[in-house]
Amino acid sequence: MSTRIGILGYGNLGRGVECAIKHNDDMELKAVFTRRDPKTVKVLTPGVEVANVADIEKYKDSIDVLIICGGSATDLPEMTPKYAKMFNVIDSFDTHANIPTHFAAVDAAAKEGGKIAMISLGWDPGMFSVMRLYDTAILGNGSTYTFWGKGVSQGHSDAIRRVPGVKNGKQYTIPVPEALEAVRSGSNPELTTRQKHTRECFVVLEEGADAAKVEEAIKTMPNYFADYDTTVHFISEEEFAANHSGIPHGGFVIHSGTTGWNDENKHVIEYSLKLDSNPEFTSSVLIAFARAAKRLSDEGAVGCKTIFDVAPAYLSPLSGEELRSHLL
Amino acid sequence: MSTRIGILGYGNLGRGVECAIKHNDDMELKAVFTRRDPKTVKVLTPGVEVANVADIEKYKDSIDVLIICGGSATDLPEMTPKYAKMFNVIDSFDTHANIPTHFAAVDAAAKEGGKIAMISLGWDPGMFSVMRLYDTAILGNGSTYTFWGKGVSQGHSDAIRRVPGVKNGKQYTIPVPEALEAVRSGSNPELTTRQKHTRECFVVLEEGADAAKVEEAIKTMPNYFADYDTTVHFISEEEFAANHSGIPHGGFVIHSGTTGWNDENKHVIEYSLKLDSNPEFTSSVLIAFARAAKRLSDEGAVGCKTIFDVAPAYLSPLSGEELRSHLL
């Protein structure tokens, strides 16, 4: 029997989950839930129901896993605990500093409802997190470095667009090649914020806006840009549409550590992602964990889990025998 | 309380495990077991007992996990099932084709003894295997490529040394850079054996041996070299000792796959290792899994497990709270 999936929230991430379901034969999209008028939401999958989130409780018995595709700032802290009482849920909560609080709230709710909840899934947090765990568990005597990019930072792009005179803008986070090389060499360098990443901005100005003023406002913006070497390019709306409409991202987790009686041997472990679409890759991770959530729930597990708590075999549609024969 | 480790077999791998224990505060080396006369085996850790393997049963209650550091050809198929009846055991069985048979024998033995056994740990099988699993579970619509090297192949080095006229020899397996780049581009190329790896041999000749004959014998050796572009360098014993005494290795697991309603977006996931010492890195993986074996055994789990069956959190000395705060 297929795992019946509900999607709550139909933006880039929700649509990505819908596409990921299409690629997984053992998954079935049961319904999409929205805060908008359901009639205004057009989904890709023929025949799939779109319902208002106010009616979600009616679907309690027809959905195995609800994937909550909301934002980490305000949506998920409220939604994930709320729906973990009635569904097995998955989210991609990515405000690293608030994960312990979110975990506690979701864990209590899921246990109350006898459900499984899996939070903070995607690539960072998510696959990058599990790499940091494997790396440090294997080579405790070492250092782990995370680099992001080249890719679009949604938060920084939003910040650019709030600058007066900016009509549209996009920001790419770029790892500094020399920093990557230093880390790969195993020399365990100490790197400042500025030494690790640069920021490149593509900006469409409002008519009559002062380019120099906009550039200054961006480059000196505290938290977002002031601590980085930032480049600002002014481009036309046509160029923006042609070259900057995608949402690529990626990054690197590099760990180097030593072994041997006198630490005489050095090892470097590197994991990297190069993603054409950040939300679609994230969605593909969410669907693999939805498979795990269903299986763990069927085994009677309850409460909140992270990527650290899930044995990898639960993610694959293959059986234990198949995995051992083909992938081990 | 520390996890009390026993090491069975004291070659490069056993010594690597001993070094890894030194790097992990929650681990304690209890005893080293050998088939040789214990008096002839000198270990690095002060005060640690060396015993003959014939006496191993006496240590049944003083060892939490026995790490079996034997060869995959003849040692492990016999040893791991035998000792899984009396100890929690870990091995690095790496004959991929025979893993299902080994798993079945070890699983039956471990269940009979009420113990946990973990097999085929290291980097391939091991970390590379779990990457192949994550990659294919996330992007099922894609292809996975494994490259080995640059590094020393023990099997191929042994094969060189069996050629008449060869005094000493070492073989490096090297991924072909163009093949790596083609795979990284996401073009999903079909690659022959010859297109993926080259083989480079460093040979010290016996006095009076015919270099041309030796080169020909190596390059045409079936299974080992005939299907590869092979280079043979003849060097002096001094150069061999100075530059080819290490056991470095490494490799790459690269997966590319597509997402989107019409597969319009491409993603590339790459995991790579660059290891100064193959046996010491493998040993570090074994010790992380020894931690997991102890914990799973304490929870009452029995039977044979692979890297696919172990939730990553079990590998780390950190608590769940610490992992979520620092690594997620």
Q: Count contacts between A and B (CB, < 8 Å).
A: 207
Contact criterion met (CB below 8 Å) for B78 and B102: no
pLDDT digits (tens, 9 = 90+) for B240-286: 999 999 999 999 999 999 999 999 999 999 999 999 999 999 999 99
Chain A neighbors of B307, CB-CB under 8 A: 312, 328
Of B260, B317, B324, the CB nearest to A99: B324
What does the alpha-carbon distance between residue A174 and residue A152 come to, in Å, rounded to a whole number?
9
pLDDT for the residue numbered A258: 97
Using a CB-CB distance cutoff of 8 angstroms, which residues of chain B are in contact with residue A24? 140
pLDDT tens, residue by residue, A59-116: 999 999 999 999 999 999 999 999 999 999 999 999 999 999 999 999 999 999 999 9
* CA A36 – CA A112 distance, rounded (Å): 29
| pLDDT in the model for residue A254 | 98
Across A232-236, average pLDDT: 98
Q: Which pLDDT does position A210 carry in this prediction? A: 97
| pLDDT of res. A1 | 77
Write the secondary structure of A34-65 as one string of H (helix), E (strand) and C (coil). Answer: ECCCHHHCCCCCCCCEEEEHHHHHHHCCCCCE
B211 CB within 8 Å of a chain A CB: no
Give Cβ neighbours of residue B77 (< 8 Å, ≥ 6 apart): B93, B98, B101, B102, B105
C-alpha span between B27 and B46 (Å, rounded): 15
Burial of A263: CB neighbours in 10 Å, binned 0-12, 13-18, 19+? middle
Q: Determine the straight-line distance between the first and last CA of chain A, rounded to whole angstroms.
A: 27
A317 close to B (CB below 8 A)? yes
Percent of chain A predicted with pLDDT > 70 = 100
Q: With CB atoms and an 8 Å threshold, state whether B312 touches A316.
A: no
Q: Of A265, A278, A280, which to mutate for an interface test with B (greatest number of B Cβ within 10 Å)?
A: A265
Mean predicted confidence (pLDDT) in A294-315: 98
Query: Which residues in chain A have Cβ-Cβ distances shorter than 8 Å to B315?
Result: 133-134, 137-138
pLDDT lower than 70: segments of chain B? none
Around B260, how many Cα atoms within 13 Å sit in the side-chain half-sphere? 14
* Chain B residues lying within 8 Å of A267, measured CB to CB: 273-277, 280-281
Question: Which pLDDT does position B295 carry in this prediction?
Answer: 98
Residue B220: how many other CB atoms lie within 10 Å: 11
Measured between alpha carbons, how far is residue A101 from residues A18, A96, A107, B238, B280 in Å?
29, 10, 10, 62, 39
Q: How many CB atoms lie within 10 A of CB B4?
A: 19
Measured from the Cβ of residue A16, the count of other Cβ atoms closer than 10 Å reads: 29
Q: How close B307 comes to chain A (CA, Å)?
A: 8
Mean local confidence (pLDDT), A14-34: 98
pLDDT in the model for residue B1: 77
